[in-house]
């Protein structure tokens, strides 16, 4: 039997979960940690105590030399800086969700800038790290322009409890992962402000329409957003209390300021930085995204919560 070699770049919650899953799938795993000392002697993250890294995972601050797949699991706004130090060890798989501020680049654009000749893919879906680490049943999508390669890369990680579907719609999958976090902040704010479950379900559905328009406008397929990387991740992130984006929205809705919420956290809520970036991307392509636009204004402090609510409720009612 050939044993896969999987490199994971980033030892935050998602990197630890993916390394654990790769080991579960039988791989030899190289886990690059910026600060290996943040892992305890028991090889767990203090804030992810259910995940104990298996023995086949080597944790190191050295970059991998060669791998069948390199899984990039660092926060989106640090991806470019980290990639500058990642050698061309093998096909690169973006596992982060977002749009880069200023450049408006999607994860695969950033990989292409760093390693133009390497195959690149994106992994996304409804995946809380703590559940993947525990081996609870999970599904996700792995997309690559080369659909055959997507399947082969997915096979390195797939087990009965981690079902990786293959896709060739890299744009749709990246847009789903990026935009759902902004909608999740909106869903959290809706619940936090006491606006009710009807409002949340409506926001999720109109948000899904924005994801679909964005995907199509940028060259992806609307149908992809009906799958795991779109509606699947929207459901999880807009309803799961352990979502960092949802809980940030919840606190905003209850009246806390963004600065105070972020000041209490060490973990990343990608929707905050991605909201203005994805709005700029939508405007550049003339795509209507009223929920994302409203959240971007709210997060920037340009409008307050009642104004955000009124902005959405007073829009002309169209057809569906
Ligand atoms: N946690 C989850 O459940 C999931 C996370 N993701 C995505 O994975 C990506 C990473 O998220 P998490 O692992 O949850 O992060 P995290 O919130 O657990 O921790 C942030 C990580 O970023 C590292 N970091 C901070 N500054 C850095 C820098 N300048 N350069 C490199 N690394 C730096 C920290 O050391 C820490 O390990 C995000 O894009 C997130 O959306 C995707 C699916 C699930
Ligand atoms: O992407 C995720 C689940 O699919 C994680 O969501 P949060 O970053 O909001 O916790």
Residue of the nearest CA to atom 6 in ligand 2? 243
Ligand nearest to the CA of 16: 1
- Tell me, what DSSP letter sits at residue 77? G
Return the residue matching tokens 């799938």: 25
pLDDT band per the 50, 70, 90 thresholds, residue 275: very high
pLDDT above 80: residue 42? no
User: 226 near 167, Cβ under 8 Å?
Assistant: no
User: 15 near 35, Cβ under 8 Å?
Assistant: no
ipTM of the complex as predicted: 0.97
Q: What is the pTM of this model?
A: 0.97
Instruction: Give the pair of three-digit tokens for residue 91.
Output: 């096909």
The yes-or-no answer on residue 180 being catalytic is yes
For ligand 1, say whether the CB of 82 is within 6 Å of any of its atoms. yes
**Catalytic pick from 80, 115, 156, 180?**
180
pLDDT score of 1? 66
- Rounded to whole angstroms, the Cα distance separating 162 from 228 reads 13
Sheet strands (E) in 91-244: 92-94, 120-124, 138-144, 162-167
pLDDT tens readout for residues 216-233: 999 999 999 999 999 999
3-class DSSP assignment, residue 94: strand
For ligand 2, say whether the CB of 97 is within 6 Å of any of its atoms. yes
Strand-pairing partners, residue 6, are 29, 69
- Rounded to whole angstroms, the Cα distance separating 193 from 102 reads 31
CA 14 to ligand 1 centroid distance, Å: 6
Burial of 1 (0-12, 13-18, 19+ CB in 10 A): exposed
User: 181 near 271, Cβ under 8 Å?
Assistant: yes
Residue of the nearest CA to atom 8 in ligand 2? 244
pLDDT above 80: residue 40? no
pLDDT tens readout for residues 85-136: 999 999 999 999 999 999 999 999 999 999 999 999 999 999 999 999 999 9
For ligand 1, say whether the CB of 32 is within 6 Å of any of its atoms. no
Q: Which domains does the chain have, with CATH numbers?
A: 5-168 (3.40.50.720), 176-313 (1.10.1040.10)
Helix (H) or strand (E) holding 4: none
């Amino acid at each position: 039997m050939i044993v896969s070699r999987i490199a994971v770049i980033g030892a935050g919650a998602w990197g630890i979960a993916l390394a654990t899953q790769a080991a579960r799938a039988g791989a030899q795993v190289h886990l690059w940690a910026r600060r290996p000392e943040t892992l305890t002697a028991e090889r767990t993250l203090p804030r992810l105590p259910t995940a104990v890294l298996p023995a086949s995972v080597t944790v190191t601050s050295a970059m991998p030399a060669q791998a069948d797949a390199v899984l990039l699991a660092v926060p989106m706004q640090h991806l470019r800086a980290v990639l500058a130090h990642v050698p061309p060890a093998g096909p690169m798989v973006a596992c982060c969700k977002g749009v880069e501020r200023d450049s408006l680049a999607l994860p695969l654009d950033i990989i292409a800038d760093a390693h133009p000749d390497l195959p690149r893919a994106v992994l996304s879906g409804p995946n809380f790290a703590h559940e993947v680490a525990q081996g609870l049943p999970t599904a996700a999508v792995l997309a690559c322009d080369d659909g055959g390669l997507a399947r082969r890369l997915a096979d390195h990680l797939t087990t009965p409890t981690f079902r990786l579907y293959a896709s060739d719609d890299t744009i749709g999958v990246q847009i789903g992962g990026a935009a759902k976090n902004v909608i999740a902040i909106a869903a959290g704010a809706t619940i936090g402000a006491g606006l009710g479950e009807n409002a949340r379900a409506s926001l999720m559905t109109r948000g899904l329409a924005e994801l679909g328009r964005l995907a199509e406008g940028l060259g992806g397929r609307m149908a992809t957003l009906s799958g795991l990387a779109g509606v699947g991740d929207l459901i999880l992130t807009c309803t799961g209390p352990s979502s960092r984006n949802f809980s940030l929205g919840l606190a905003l809705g209850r009246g806390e300021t963004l600065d105070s919420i972020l000041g209490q956290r060490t973990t990343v809520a990608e929707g905050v930085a991605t909201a203005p970036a994805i709005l700029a991307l939508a405007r550049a392509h003339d795509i209507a995204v009223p929920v994302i636009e409203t959240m971007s204004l709210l997060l920037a402090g340009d409008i307050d919560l009642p104004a955000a609510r009124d902005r959405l409720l007073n829009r002309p009612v169209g057809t569906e």
